[in-house]
Structure 1
Amino acid sequence: MDFFNSLDLKDVGLVVAFLVLSGYLIKSNKAKSNDGGSEKVKINIKEKSEFKTKGKSDKINVEAVREDFDWLTEKPLKSYPFKDSEYKLTMGIKFLEAKDWLLIEDTYLDRINEKTRIVTNSHPDYAPDKDLRRSTVFTSEEGNSAIREFYDIVTKYMCDKYPMYFIKSEDQIYNKITEEYIPATSEGVDDPESLLIALTRTIEEDFIILLPDPTKKDEPYGTEYFFKAGVFAFAAGFDPIEKFNQPLTCIHGPIPGYEEKLKTSMNRFFDRLKPGEFVSRSNFSIQTHKKLYVDDANKGYHLTQEELDRPIPYEDLDFDNQVHYRSERQVLIKMPKTKATVFTIRTYLHPLSQLKEDPEVAARLSGTLLKFPDDMARYKNIVQPRPAVLRYLSEISKA
């Protein structure tokens, strides 16, 4: 199911203006696509700078997908990381093969365009004066080299894995799905923020770049990794700018039990992660709307007890169109040159009614929600809609 339409002419103008301000010379024209049209942007590379990515960043080897791969028929993964059992807060990690890292599925163009609307402050679902770009695109002096390294890793990976969609020439990569050009490498691009924007038009995943910060070693949590750069356009219940330049413990602070149960394991894991390893974990939640960027809902720790004691009536929820199941597929890598750790975050979002097709999953989800501890249920903002959601899941699991 398509949740989003492609960019309209107003959006295209905003995209072009944004990229021009980011330091690119751009030519743009409309091009037809599967969902009615998306912008076609050509980026001409500037003079080469002194920066050159070296080291092992080009050593991630991935084979090309099958020759008859068609992104329009590639259904999203079913991301249901829960059991009908008592909830336990764990890292829940597993190792992946390189080929399973960055994905192209039939949501690709819609999500790319949705992300562009967000990072260019042109999304119609948000107030015109809401500065989404400031809250979703992040650079820092300490993170700039890592941005360049990540850009080169990602673009090589996409060209290697999807050669039918990413065609590389000497200084450009042509994306056949978006019908756009991006720089072939980070060389010659003076502004690291421009590389971040190019990546938002290349991969569906958000990405958070974390590094140690020696200048903060004497502060609380100062020996941890800090959020230093990235794009967080599909935040689920917080303003990402509040997490920027913060250590891991502060980033995860609102999660009940994190500091007591996970902090030590998480910090040790970040220290031990090696370049070339791909480690995955997933989470899930229920939301009563279909927004991908959410900074004022999805979390319930700000609710008063009086509000928590008022469940949302079943009749007030639109399970076919508004109530959605949401899951994040997070993959962690460590880059060989800068030693930065990167979270890539792929968001899956679909109407809860889609579980009619899988009653076993509906029943398992119901059991999980029933067994949520009170503090976790509040954090995930499921307390108010839970009675109605459980009733709905019971109905579709027995149908």
Structure 2
Amino acid sequence: MTLEFAPSIETFRDDFSYRNSPRAIARFPLPFPEDRYMYSVNMEPATSRDPGSVFEHLFDIDEHYRSEMAERALVLERDPRRSITMPHMQEAAWDALERIMEQLSHDYPDWFALERHGRECTWRNRALGIEQSFVLDQPDTLPYPPLEYIMRQTQGDMALLDQREGDLFMDAGVVTCPADWSLAFDAGMSFKQWHSPVPLAHQMGVFDRALKYLLNVQVGQPVRRLNWTLTINPRLDTSAETYHEWGSDRGTVTPGNAGQKVHLRVELQLMLRLPRSNALMFGIRTYLASLEELVTRPGWGQRLHRVMRDLPEPIADYKGITRYRPQLVQWLRQHDPEA
């Protein structure tokens, strides 16, 4: 697939100029395999498949790349706490930088290139007009800390999890587009601690199984899964810190505007073992599409209607949908021929 960027920088706040092209809608990762909601871990090997899809490359770059990088820079300027690397995670940060640069150079050679001569490197990002010479493991050779430096050039959020005491701890990350959570709050927490708000899963033993699985992820055998929620307006930064800016948006949904305002927010989550540090990279690649855009795909309107209509109440509450769910379902009903 030839990589083409949006002709101008789109916005994820204020005037919300973000839109998806037909090509982006066609490759949107709809997280519902059936016309009903299913709760599952849905983990799979993160191997390349379906050329042109979001599953082709380990780190997906799409038409919104430049826009999302502009948004990330804006968020980090407003709140530097969105980038955290604890002292014992420095090796993991360099490990992540090296892994991402190598992968982007391999998968998108027209836009990214990494030249190495021992520990001396030159990085070229033609998409953003960046050329940077640096020395691995020497932070003073980069304009930002290593994890922040590479995440200012990578779509999606990233956490680095330290594995110790039979658990995973969120001890580093760059998180500027979270779905109603906070890196500053979760930093240092264990796997079960940061997942504690999720309903039903604990009773079902989902997180016990997930943690056991992740602790055994090996180098060279990354895994991935899809997660989802809904967001009002195409707003990437729905962090706990900015709730005062977007929380009231949920009260603005009507049966008339639901298609335009309500966006399906899908996270393609990547779990990858880093070779030098043994840290677990947890990538959260976010995709946004309005319901109006999604129902242009055959069968998707019917599926979305049935999933949202039949969603268990605890899940709807957790995902913040309850307040506008009747308006949402009413709008989607017109796209279900059997409703």
Q: Check the 8 A contact 2:163/2:278 in 1, yes or no.
A: no
* 2:60 alignment partner AA: L
Deviation at 1:317, TM superposition (A): 4.0
| Inter-partner Cα distance in structure 2 for 1:156 and 1:341 | 17
- Matching residue of 1:116: 73
- Matching residue of 1:5: 9
Deviation at 1:184, TM superposition (A): 5.6
Deviation at 1:175, TM superposition (A): 0.9
| Inter-partner Cα distance in structure 1 for 2:34 and 2:237 | 29
Greater shift, 165-174 or 281-290, is seen at: 165-174
> What is the root-mean-square deviation in Å for CA atoms of aligned residues?
3.2
Query: Aligned runs of 1:185-264 on 2, under 5 Å?
Result: 186-190=136-140, 194-213=145-164, 217=165, 223-260=166-203, 261-264=205-208
Q: Check the 8 A contact 1:189/1:195 in 2, yes or no.
A: yes
* 2:321 alignment partner AA: I
Query: Aligned runs of 1:65-144 on 2, under 5 Å?
Result: 75=24, 77-84=27-34, 86-97=36-47, 100-121=57-78, 132-134=79-81, 136-144=82-90
**TM-score using structure 2 length:** 0.81
- Matching residue of 1:153: 99
2:238 pairs with 274, 294, 315, which one?
294
Between the aligned residues of both structures, percent identity stands at 19
Deviation at 1:240, TM superposition (A): 2.0
Deviation at 1:87, TM superposition (A): 3.4
User: CA distance change for structure 1 residues 4 and 375 in 2, over 3 Å: closer, same or farther?
Assistant: farther
Q: 1:381 and 2:312 equivalent? A: no
Q: Check the 8 A contact 1:95/1:279 in 2, yes or no.
A: yes
Tell me the secondary structure at the aligned position of residue 249 of structure 1. helix
Would you say how many aligned residue pairs link Structure 1 and Structure 2?
A: 308
| Inter-partner Cα distance in structure 2 for 1:184 and 1:157 | 18
* 1:376 alignment partner AA: I
Q: Check the 8 A contact 1:206/1:233 in 2, yes or no.
A: yes
Tell me the secondary structure at the aligned position of residue 267 of structure 1. helix
1:276 pairs with 220, 229, 237, which one?
220
Query: Aligned runs of 1:344-359 on 2, under 5 Å?
Result: 344-359=283-298
* 1:138 alignment partner AA: I
- Matching residue of 2:271: 332
| Inter-partner Cα distance in structure 1 for 2:30 and 2:180 | 20
- Matching residue of 2:130: 180
* 1:120 alignment partner AA: E
Unaligned 5+ segments in structure 2 are 12-17, 49-55
Unaligned 5+ segments in structure 1 are 8-34, 36-71, 122-131, 218-222
User: CA distance change for structure 1 residues 298 and 241 in 2, over 3 Å: closer, same or farther?
Assistant: closer
Q: Check the 8 A contact 2:258/2:328 in 1, yes or no.
A: no
| Inter-partner Cα distance in structure 1 for 2:186 and 2:266 | 20
Deviations 1:338-385 (A, max 9, x none): 111111111001222102312411111111112211111100111111
User: CA distance change for structure 1 residues 197 and 145 in 2, over 3 Å: closer, same or farther?
Assistant: same
Tell me the secondary structure at the aligned position of residue 295 of structure 2. helix
| Inter-partner Cα distance in structure 1 for 2:39 and 2:255 | 33
| Inter-partner Cα distance in structure 2 for 1:238 and 1:174 | 33
Tell me the secondary structure at the aligned position of residue 159 of structure 2. strand
Deviations 1:216-261 (A, max 9, x none): x5xxxxx310001111111011222111110000111111023332
* 2:24 alignment partner AA: K
Q: Check the 8 A contact 1:287/1:324 in 2, yes or no.
A: yes
Deviation at 1:289, TM superposition (A): 2.4
Q: 1:394 and 2:333 equivalent? A: yes
User: CA distance change for structure 1 residues 318 and 2 in 2, over 3 Å: closer, same or farther?
Assistant: farther
Q: Check the 8 A contact 2:173/2:183 in 1, yes or no.
A: no
